[in-house]
Amino acid sequence: MKHFILGAAALVCATAAHAQSWDMPTPYGDSTFHTQNIAQFADDVRAATDGALDITLHSAGSLFPHAEIKGAVRNRSVPLGEFFLSRLSNEDLAFGVDSQPFVATSYEDAARLWAAQEPVITELLAEQGLIPLFSVPWPAQGLYTNGEIATVDDLNGLRFRAYNAALEEFATLVGAAPVQIEASNIPQAFATGQVEAMITSPSTGVNSTAWDFVTHYTAINAWVPKNIVVINQRMFDGLDADTQAAVLAAAEAAETRGWEMSAAEAESMTAALAENGITVYEPSATLIEGLQGIGETMLGTWDAAASDSARAVLNAYNN
Ligand code: PCA
């Protein structure tokens, strides 16, 4: 009897030791569709593994600040995490193609660009022991200001919120003053006068209640940037085959679902901006021409600094 009890206890321990709890950081808040999509991903993994792999999401940069998430996955502080893909453009410009103005401006373009980018960045991330699980775009990026913007000259001198190096370059080129602010800090940055204009999606505009601090929005649809979820290769390899398959299946479903959520939000969140009192206007031809000129300048700078990997992405996309 004693043996039996000990045996049963050992079995319980073995099962408990087998079940794994994983922490997953993301920079974005709970109302963000990306975060909701990842919560569903975690639920799917939990269900498919009967609770053997339990992923806990830590939103709004609560576990690691945005800039540290990739490194935390790399050094196995956490097994997996989400971040804004083009933030890695300082490592290789291949990561930043989706944030170059007027390269890919629709979901169709963005899907072709991701098809061109995925194999290249998969190789680059493998060198760091990281595997991409899925990538989902934000709705096309629009312009938030106080008052209507008729030409790029109207942006001159504005304190401009930026979220990556490309947007910082953009702001500088239009004569604005870029300030790096995380998405979850946008309301505070406007409230304190740190910034007075921004380019971001209708989703982030709504999530940060943009009507509290700007009056006008125009869908310049200049680029369709993506988030990416990466997993540490050694942590993935440490899972049994069934659990690995469950993670990959949930990731594939999350990518498909995330692109659909994004497209739905492009419309519903633009409508929500208007419903909350923001004046949503069509960009003038002059404004778009001016912005395209900035885009060309930026692409020239990009091209001069591009690695072979970065060029391979753009060539595959253009051909
Ligand atoms: N929202 C995020 C990234 C792009 C977007 O639409 C942000 O503004 O930080």
Q: pLDDT per residue over 151-207, tens digit each?
A: 999 999 999 999 999 999 999 999 999 999 999 999 999 999 999 999 999 999 999
Query: Is residue 287 a part of any domain in this protein?
Result: yes
How many whole angstroms from 201 Cα to the centroid of ligand 1? 6
Structure tokens at 300: 């020239």
pLDDT, mean over the chain: 95
Q: What is the pLDDT of residues 236-284, one digit of tens each?
A: 999 999 999 999 999 999 999 999 999 999 999 999 999 999 999 999 9
Using the predicted structure, report yes or no on whether residue 6 has a pLDDT greater than 70: no
Cβ of 33 closer than 6 Å to ligand 1, yes or no, is no
How many whole angstroms from 281 Cα to the centroid of ligand 1? 20
Position 139, amino acid: P
Cα(293)–Cα(287) distance, rounded to whole angstroms?
10
Q: What is the pLDDT of residues 227-242, one digit of tens each?
A: 999 999 999 999 999 9
**Sequence-ordered alpha helix ranges (H) in the chain:** 2-18, 33-48, 66-74, 107-126, 165-173, 186-191, 202-207, 233-237, 241-275, 285-305, 308-318
Query: Is residue 5 a part of any domain in this protein?
Result: no
Query: Is residue 28 a part of any domain in this protein?
Result: no
CATH code, 217: 3.40.190.170
Q: Please report which helix (H) or strand (E) contains residue 20, including its range.
A: strand 20-25
Q: Which atom of ligand 1 is nearest to the CA of 27?
A: 9
- Collapse the DSSP code of 228 into the 3-class scheme (helix H, G, I; strand E, B; otherwise coil) and give the result: strand
Q: Which atom of ligand 1 is nearest to the CA of 32?
A: 1
Query: Is residue 66 a part of any domain in this protein?
Result: no
Cα(9)–Cα(29) distance, rounded to whole angstroms?
41
How many whole angstroms from 225 Cα to the centroid of ligand 1? 8
Identify the pLDDT of residue 5: 44
- Confidence at 122, pLDDT banded by 50, 70, 90: very high
Please, what is the Cα angle at 11 between 8 and 16, to 5 degrees? Answer: 130
Q: Which atom of ligand 1 is nearest to the CA of 183?
A: 9
Q: What is the pLDDT of residues 61-110, one digit of tens each?
A: 999 999 999 999 999 999 999 999 999 999 999 999 999 999 999 999 99
Q: Which atom of ligand 1 is nearest to the CA of 225?
A: 4
Query: Is residue 295 a part of any domain in this protein?
Result: yes
In Å, how far are 69, 134, 138, 185, 231 from 62, measured between CA atoms? 11, 22, 21, 12, 19
Cα(246)–Cα(269) distance, rounded to whole angstroms?
32
CA-nearest residue for atom 4, ligand 1, is: 200
Query: Is residue 69 a part of any domain in this protein?
Result: no
